[in-house]
A and B are shown apart, each in its own frame.
Chain A
Amino acid sequence: MAKKKFVVGCFDDEAVLFPAVKKVRTAGYKIHDVYTPFAVHGLDHALGERETSLHTAGFIYGITGTATALSCISWIFTKDWPLNIGGKPHFALPAWIPIIFELTVLFAAVGMVLTFCYLCQMAPFVKKHHFHARATDDLFVMVIECTDKTNVEDLKSFLSNNGAIETDVQVAEAGWWLGRYDKDELPFENKQIVAA
C-alpha cells in the first residue's frame, strides 16, 4: 500500500459529469474512481470499466450448490441410511428437487454477496480513504491519479473549466488498510480546500 497524489474534482450534476469524464479520459488522465451518492446508469461504461464477472461467479456457486445437494442427498438416501418413505424408490429425484434448488440458491446468494464484498473491498475494519464527505450526500466526486509529470494546477483548472464546482489536491492511501476511522482518520473533518 502506498500513498499517492490525487486531484479531486467535485460535480453537482450528472449532465456535467458525463462529458467531463469523457474529456478527462480523452486528455489522457487516469481516473482513479468516481464516487457518486447513488448508482449512476451508464457511468461504468463511460469510465471504460469491463463487464463485471460477478454473474459468472454466481453461476459457478450455483452449480456447486446443485452438485453438493445432489451428491449429498443421494449418498445419504441410497447408501448411508436408506429409508422406506411411503414406498417411494430410494433414489427419489422429484422429492429432492426442492432441496437441490434451495441449496443452489443458497450457495449462489451467499457466494455472490461474499464475492461482491471482495470485489468492492468491503469487510469489517477494511478502511479506504474518503475523498469528499459529500460524495455520500449530493456531490459526484471524480478522483484523478497524478503521475510525476502531471501538472496539478493545469489539471485543476481543466476540471473547473469542465464544470467542477470544487477542486482539490490530496495525498492519500490508494488502497485499503485495516483499521478504525476513529483512530486513524476523521472522515467528516472538513479537510477540503474550496477553490474559487
Chain B
Amino acid sequence: MASIREQFEIPGKMKTWSLALIGVGLVALIIGLVTKGFSADEQEQAHFWGTLMYNTIFWTMVCNAAMFFICIITLAMGGWEQSFRRVSEAISTMVPIFGSITFVVLIYVVVSDKHFIYHWLDKDKVALDPILKGKAGFLNPTFFIIWTTLILGLWTLLGWRMRQIGRETDEAPMNHLAGQSFIWRSTVRAAMFIVWFALTVGSTAPWLWMMSLDAHWYSTMYSWYTFASTFVSGISLIALWVIYLKNKGYLELTNQEHLQDLGKFMFAFSIFWTYLWFSQFMLIWYANIPEETVYFKHRVQGPYKGIFFFNLIINFVCPILILMKRAPKRNYTLMTFMAVLILFGHWMDFYQMVMGSLSKDHVTLGWLDFGILSFFVGMMIFFVGRSLASKPLITKYHPFLKESIIHQV
C-alpha cells in the first residue's frame, strides 16, 4: 500500500475553472435577480425563482443521491465501492451547502407569498376551491416550512453521521470484533438514512417542492420519477469524479471493473427512469381525463414538446444503445461522455418539470438557466474538490476493502 497516493491535492486549474464558473454564475444570478427576481411582473419573477428552484433542488437531490448510494451498499453488505467510497462521501458533503440554498429559495418563495409560483398560497382562491381545500392540510405555508426544514436538516445530519463513522476506517486496522461492530453501527446509521430518504425523496419532498406547482394535479409516480432522475444523475456524477481522479493518477485501486459496475447502474437506472416516465405518461394518456392531462397538455402538444421528447432520447435511447455492451462501460472516454449526457438530460428533465408548470406558454430556456447551472457546477467542483482534499482518498482499514480490490465483473 506504500505506493498509493492517499492525499488529493487540488490542481490549480481546477480551482481557477471552478471559481470562473462560480463567477459567471454569480453575474447571471445578480443580473437575473435585479431584472427579473425583483421585477414587478409576476411572469418575470416566476421565471427567475423557478429557474433557481429547479437548479437548487436538482443539485441538492443529486448530491444526496451519492449518500443514498453509500447507504444502500452498506445495507446490502457490498464491498466493491470501498476503493472509491470517499468520492461519494465528498459529493454528499454538498448536501448542507446546496441544501441551505434550497432552503433559502423555497422559504423565500413561500414567505413572500409568491402565489403565482405555488398557487395554493393564495388563501382566497383556496377557500373557493374544493380540491385545494381538501389538500390544505398538506399544502400550507406552516407545514411546508417545517417539513422542508426537517427534510434538509435530517439529510444533512444523517449523512454527516454516516460520513463520521467512515472516518474510523482511517485510524487503525480493525480486528475481527472491531470490524463486526463497525459494520453493525454503519448498518444502523445507513438504515436510518434510508428510512428518512424514503419518506422524503421517495414521497413527500418532490410532492411538496415540485408537484405542488400544479396543485390540482397529482401523480403517484412523481416521487419515484424524481428519485430515479436524481439517482442516475448521482451515479453519473460519482463516475465523472472517479474518472477525473483516475486521470490525475489517484484511486489506484479503482479500475475498469468498478467503472463497469457504475456503468451498469447508469444503464439500469436510465431504464428505470424511462419505466416511470412511461407509466406516468401512459396511464394519463389512456384515461384522457382533463384534470390529469393538464400536466401533459403543454408538454406533449405545446411549446415544451421538443424538450419533452429530446429528454427521452438523451435519457433513454442514448443510454440503452450506448451503454448496453460491456466495452463502452469499461471505456473511460465513453463513460465520461455518457455521464455528462445523463447529467445534462436529467437537468433538462427538471427544467421541464418545474418551468413547464410555471411558464406554460413559452419555453424560457436561455442565458439565465445556463448561468445558474454554471454557478451550481462551479460550487460543486470547488467544494467537492476541497472535501476530497481534506480526507484520505482511500478507506484504508475498512473490513471490506479487499473485496473492492479483487472486485471482478
Write the residues of chain A forming the contact surface with B, with a CB cutoff of 8 angstroms. Answer: 41-42, 51, 59, 86-88, 94-95, 97-98
Contact = CB atoms under 8 A, between A and B. Distances in A.
A94 B288 contact: no
Contacts of B326: 51
A50 to B, nearest CB: 13
A94 B324 contact: no
Interface stretch (B50-58, B76-84, B278-286): B278-286
B408 interface: yes
Contacts of B285: 94
Contacts of A94: 278, 281-282, 285-286
Nearest to A59: B324
Contact of B282 (A41, A42, A95): A95
A97 B408 contact: no
Contacts of B286: 86, 88, 94-95
A87 B324 CA distance: 38
Interface in B269-314: 278, 281-282, 285-286, 288
B278 A41 contact: no
A87 B287 CA distance: 11
Given A86-B288, A94-B282, A41 B408 contact: yes
B47 to A, nearest CB: 32
A125 B408 CA distance: 36
Nearest to A51: B326
A86 B278 CA distance: 20
A86 B285 CA distance: 11
Q: Is the interface of B mostly helix, strand, loop or mixed?
A: helix
A88 to B, nearest CB: 8
Nearest to B285: A94
A95 B278 CA distance: 10
A88 B286 CA distance: 8
Nearest to B325: A55
Q: How large is the interface on B (under 10, 10 to 19, 20 to 34, 35 or more residues)?
A: under 10
B151 to A, nearest CB: 34
A59 B324 CA distance: 10
B309 to A, nearest CB: 13
A42 B408 contact: yes
11 contacts: A42-B408, A59-B324, A86-B286, A87-B288, A88-B286, A94-B278, A94-B285, A94-B286, A95-B286, A97-B278, A98-B282
A102 to B, nearest CB: 13
Contacts of A87: 288
Contacts of B278: 94, 97
Nearest to B286: A95
A51 B409 CA distance: 12
Contacts of A86: 286, 288
Contacts of B281: 94
Contacts of A88: 286
Interface in B354-393: none
Top 7 nearest A-B pairs (CB, nearest first) are: A94-B282, A94-B285, A95-B286, A42-B408, A97-B278, A41-B408, A94-B281
A148 B324 CA distance: 46
Name the residue among A41, A59, A94, A97 with the largest chain B CB count within 10 angstroms.
Answer: A94
B313 to A, nearest CB: 15
Contacts of B288: 86-87
Nearest to A42: B408
Contacts of A59: 324
Contacts of A95: 282, 286
B346 to A, nearest CB: 21
Contacts of B324: 59
A87 B285 CA distance: 12
B265 to A, nearest CB: 18
A59 B281 CA distance: 27
A101 to B, nearest CB: 9
B292 to A, nearest CB: 14
A87 to B, nearest CB: 8
Nearest to A41: B408
Nearest to B287: A86
Contacts of B408: 41-42
B276 to A, nearest CB: 13
Nearest to B288: A86
Given A42-B408, A86-B288, 16 more contacts: A41-B408, A51-B326, A59-B324, A86-B286, A87-B288, A88-B286, A94-B278, A94-B281, A94-B282, A94-B285, A94-B286, A95-B282, A95-B286, A97-B278, A97-B282, A98-B282
